C-alpha cells in the first residue's frame, strides 16, 4: 500500500506579511520557504551601519540611488519576500522612492552573515537573488571578507582588501577599504 506524503507548505509574500510581529524576529520567504531570523549581534549592526554610511555618501554625491537597511520588504515574486540587511534601489525622478510601488529593480543587496543566517544567505537567498538578476554581497565578519556574487556568476569573487562597486553608467567607482571597515566593526580602531 502506497503512502501519500503531504507537500510542504509553500509560503507566499502575502502570508508572510500577514504574520504577527514578533519582537526580535525577522520573517522572510524565499521560493516559498519560510525563513525566521533572530535579532543580530552588535557587530552585525555596526557592519550594516558602516556599509550604509559608505554607500549612502557615494550614492548621494553621484545621484545614483537610495540606500536603505532592514527591515524593509522586497517582493521579488509571489513566493519571495526578503529583507536584505543593506540595499540600493534606483531613484524615482531624482528622489528616493516613498512607496513600495515605486521600488524598481534593486541595484545591490547585501547580507551580513551571522551564525543563524549563514545557510540562508549563502545558499537560499543567493540562488534566488541571482535568478532575479540582483547583484549581491555576502559580508563575512569572522573571515573578514566579502563574497561578491554577480547574477550570472558560477561562483563568488572573494574580496579581502578593496571592495569596488560601480553601477552601470559613467560614474567614479565606490571604493570601500575592507581592512579598515572590519577593524571599525570589531572595535580595533
What pTM was computed for the model?
0.88
pLDDT digits (tens, 9 = 90+) for 145-178: 999 999 999 999 999 999 999 887 767 899 999 9
Do residues 22 and 107 lie in contact, with contact meaning Cβ atoms separated by under 8 Å? no
pLDDT digits (tens, 9 = 90+) for 13-52: 999 999 998 888 889 889 998 888 887 788 889 999 999 9
- In this prediction, residue 156 carries a pLDDT of 94
Mean of the per-residue pLDDT values of the chain:
89
Do residues 161 and 179 lie in contact, with contact meaning Cβ atoms separated by under 8 Å? yes
Amino acid at each position: 500500500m502506497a503512502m501519500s506524503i503531504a507537500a510542504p507548505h509553500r509560503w507566499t509574500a502575502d502570508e508572510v506579511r500577514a504574520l504577527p510581529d514578533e519582537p526580535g524576529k525577522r520573517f522572510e520567504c524565499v521560493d516559498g520557504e519560510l525563513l525566521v531570523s533572530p535579532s543580530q549581534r552588535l557587530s552585525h549592526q555596526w557592519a550594516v551601519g558602516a556599509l550604509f554610511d559608505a554607500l549612502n555618501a557615494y550614492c548621494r554625491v553621484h545621484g545614483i540611488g537610495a540606500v536603505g537597511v532592514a527591515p524593509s520588504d522586497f517582493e521579488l515574486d509571489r513566493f519571495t519576500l526578503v529583507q536584505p540587511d543593506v540595499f540600493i534601489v534606483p531613484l524615482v525622478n531624482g528622489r528616493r522612492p516613498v512607496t513600495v510601488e515605486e521600488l524598481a529593480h534593486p541595484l545591490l543587496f547585501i547580507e551580513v552573515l551571522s551564525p543563524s543566517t549563514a545557510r540562508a544567505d549563502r545558499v537560499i537567498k543567493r540562488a534566488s537573488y541571482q535568478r532575479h538578476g540582483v547583484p549581491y554581497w555576502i559580508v563575512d565578519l569572522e573571515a573578514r571578507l566579502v563574497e561578491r556574487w554577480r547574477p550570472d556568476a558560477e561562483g563568488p569573487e572573494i574580496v579581502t582588501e578593496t571592495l569596488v562597486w560601480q553601477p552601470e553608467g559613467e560614474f567614479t567607482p565606490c571604493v570601500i577599504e575592507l581592512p579598515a571597515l572590519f577593524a571599525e566593526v570589531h572595535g580595533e580602531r
